[in-house]
Amino acid sequence: MRLVPAAVGTGIVFRRVDLEGAPLVRALWDRAVESPLCTTLVEDGVTVSTIEHLMAALAGMEIDDVVVELDGPEVPIMDGSAAPFVFLIECAGVVEQAAPRRAIRMLREVRVGDAGAWASLRPGPVSSFRFEIDFPHPVIAQQSYGVTLRNGAFKNEVSRARTFGFLHEVDRLRELGLARGGSLENAIVVAEHGVLNEEGLRYADEFVRHKIVDSIGDLYLAGGPIIGRFEGYRSSHALSARLLRTVMSDPTAWTDDAMVEPAMTPAWDNSAPLAATA
């Protein structure tokens, strides 16, 4: 993978350099297909998969215009988090472009899913994300976390949280052609009696923090930052895609806006379970 600077208005575009003509796949909500395991884009029959961690890093680093060159159908998994992408972007440096950032400001609440799993977007002063998970496994169990994307919070609070999966899911991923380079070096693997990774977890609640990373990446397919509050309860990539499609297809739910940050922003209360307040 290679990140190439792009002109104002380009947006985030993937280029499959391994295919004839190096076809382009634009990172937009109407190119996303519902998938429970990763976020996949399809344009004119060309596919790019597992984009969510890179998209989250681009969102967290406020990158609006870039061409992502790939020599295969899947973004490199790196260590299973967004942190390596953040590090490389910081090393390369960024350029402030001579144009205001396009933002999508929520005007009313939109929610998809049901009582067992749902995702919503509602009005709020800045981009913020809150997620709750509840797994029938003692290592994960119930976890809740929220973050507001200001003052380096993405990098400092969630970017290092790694993707995770259960040992019995590995064969399924391989059959789908995903995680072909997968190992304990780039994912948390949860077995019956605990985590297989020798170094353990980076955060006690690393699982839910990674779900926030996924959500940030998935919602950046709106074509810019969303000014509003995202909440997810046992949600998935598929529900994120459905939520974004529902929002963007309804002109009464959002409006174009310029990025204007207020002086003060209320933080999430990470001590309160999300399901109880829904």
Which tokens sit at 195?
Answer: 């985590």
Question: Can you tell me the distance from the alpha carbon of 238 to that of 113, in angstroms, rounded to the nearest whole number?
Answer: 10
Tell me which residue of 148, 166, 170, 167 sits closest to 158, measured CA to CA.
148
**Residue from 53, 168, 210, 237 carrying the catalytic annotation:** 237
Burial of 110 (0-12, 13-18, 19+ CB in 10 A): buried
Question: How far, in Å, CA of 114 to CA of 41, rounded?
Answer: 25
Lookup: tokens for 55: 């998209």
For residue 146, what are the β-bridge partners?
130
Amino acid type, 36:
P
Q: Is 237 tagged catalytic?
A: yes
Identify the three-state secondary structure at position 85: helix
Is 86 within 8 Å of 159 (Cβ atoms)? yes
Catalytic residues: 237
